């Protein structure tokens, strides 16, 4: 009675390992890019939320904008890992920059009575 050998040969196992390696080499850079896009979207979202909080503050405080995000109190909180800094705060407008330790990109938004491109976060 002949013996039946069950199992895989070394060549078959090596081919499977090579195929998995190729798939991993393709997938890992795409995954890293997806994470960076998520951080950028989160920064944009935080800036949109800041616009809403600043306008509410403006309406409640005699037409003055908050000088920093801490002045906004419970109306605004940046996402975890994201820092939002207000600058150029005047009666007629303000600017803000969002940064994250997880990406080199930054996002910026400007609201001003002098500008026509208000309220659109720009990331670079």
Residue 25 lies in a domain: yes
Q: In terms of residue numbers, what domain contains 70?
A: 11-123
pLDDT in the model for residue 98: 97
pLDDT in the model for residue 105: 95
Residue 74 lies in a domain: yes
Number of domains in the chain: 1
d(CA 119, CA 48): 7
Residue 99 lies in a domain: yes
Counting every residue written for the chain, the total comes to: 124
pLDDT in the model for residue 116: 53
Residue 52 lies in a domain: yes
pLDDT in the model for residue 114: 64
Q: For the whole model, what pTM was predicted?
A: 0.75
Residue 86 lies in a domain: yes
Q: Which residues of the chain have pLDDT under 70?
A: 1-3, 114-118
């Amino acid at each position: 009675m002949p013996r039946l050998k069950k199992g895989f040969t070394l060549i078959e196992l090596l081919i499977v390992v090579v195929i998995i390696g190729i798939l991993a080499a393709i997938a890992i850079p795409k995954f890293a890019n997806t994470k960076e896009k998520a951080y950028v979207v989160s920064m944009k979202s935080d800036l949109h939320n800041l616009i809403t909080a600043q306008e509410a503050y403006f309406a409640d405080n005699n037409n003055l904008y908050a000088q920093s995000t801490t002045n906004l109190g419970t109306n605004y909180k940046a996402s975890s890992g994201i820092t939002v800094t207000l600058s150029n705060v005047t009666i007629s407008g303000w600017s803000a920059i969002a940064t994250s330790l997880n990406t080199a990109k930054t996002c910026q938004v400007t609201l001003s009575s002098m500008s026509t491109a208000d309220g659109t976060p720009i990331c670079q």
